[in-house]
Amino acid sequence: MAAPPEIAVVGAGLFVQTEYIPRLAEISDLLTLKYIWSRTEESSRAAVEIAEQHFPGVECKWGEQGLNDIIQDASLLAVAVVLASQAQ
């Protein structure tokens, strides 16, 4: 069986931590969450701490270099840009 597709999440705020990651966890057999990015290391690490319960090996990325790493990773099928619902 082929490996599940890999995705990244751009955004690591409260909405990602409390709503988005739990929804992704419900379909963790269908995809691999490879990265979570935030502007700050602290936010990225907090979200990864929650996500790694369902996605072992998820990596935190932050800042400009982290975003460049995600953009240049050809193994990613998708990147979800996740904003709080009131900002969308």
Residue 8 pLDDT grade (very low, low, confident, very high; cuts 50, 70, 90): very high
* pTM beyond 0.85: yes
- CA nearest 16: which of 38, 39, 40? 38
Q: What is the pLDDT of residues 14-58, one digit of tens each?
A: 999 999 999 999 999 999 999 999 999 999 999 999 999 999 999
- Residue 73 CB-density burial (10 A; 0-12 exposed, 13-18 middle, 19+ buried): middle
Residue 86 has pLDDT above 80, yes or no: no
Instruction: Give Cα 79 distance to the centre of its chain.
Output: 8
Q: Which domains does the chain show, CATH number per domain?
A: 6-81 (3.40.50.720)
The DSSP 8-state label assigned to residue 18 in this structure reads I
Helix (H) or strand (E) run with residue 66 in it: helix 63-72
